[in-house]
Homo-oligomer: A and B are copies of this chain.
Amino acid sequence: MFSPLIEDLIRALRCLPGVGPKSAQRMAMYLLEKDRDAAGTLARTLEQAVEKVGRCSQCRTLTEQDVCALCNNSRRERQSMCVVETPADVLAIEQAGNYHGRYFVLHGHLSPIDGVGPDSLGIDLLEQHLAGGELRELIIATNPTVEGEATAQFIAERAAERGVAVSRIAHGVPIGGELEYIDGGTLAHAFNSRTAFSTGT
């Protein structure tokens, strides 16, 4: 119904996560009718980002520099490294603001069914960090899913081989959460991982 180029644009916009045919149409109309400057900026920025953004050579997070700002920051503690699945996880932890070490981004989790093995997660680079002698603790913050746990286990073994202490972030009832609305799996985990208040002696 629209002209070919507009149809192409609507189709291209559907590659965005959470954007269906109606939203894509609305976005195309908005960009072409109301905000061509912003549309031009978006096109150019997207092209540049696709071309230039790669991975940090130390922590594998997304960046257009060779070494990302976090790895380059001399005030970060170099003896601890936190392993996460995605660059967005780095952001979430940074926003929490109480971790001051380095990161290592896997870009996924072990998933043999999808052909994701240690190679695609950069485990060799992680092993170099483990062998470097600088690391005292590896904190594993992969997601608490089946694959995330398997990945955590795999990495923990690698770290243990190299004699680096490994920890896993705690999982349980979220702060501010109400027990009533927490799923059974999380509750069961919270019971199993309970910490002592007092020894009762």
Interface residues of A (CB under 8 A from B): 1-6, 8-9, 12-13, 15-18, 23, 25-33, 35-36, 38-50, 52-53, 62-65, 68-69, 86-88, 90-91, 94-95, 107
Contacts and interface: CB of A to CB of B under 8 A. Distances in A.
B1 A30 contact: no
A87 to B, nearest CB: 6
A108 to B, nearest CB: 9
The number of times this chain is found in the oligomer is 2
A105 B200 CA distance: 79
A24 to B, nearest CB: 10
Contacts of A86: 29, 33
A23 B27 CA distance: 14
A90 to B, nearest CB: 8
A15 B38 contact: yes
A17 B30 contact: yes
A50 B39 contact: yes
Contacts of A13: 42
18 contacts: A1-B91, A3-B53, A3-B65, A5-B48, A6-B63, A12-B42, A12-B45, A15-B31, A15-B41, A17-B26, A17-B30, A18-B26, A28-B49, A33-B87, A39-B49, A40-B46, A42-B46, A43-B46
B33 A107 contact: yes
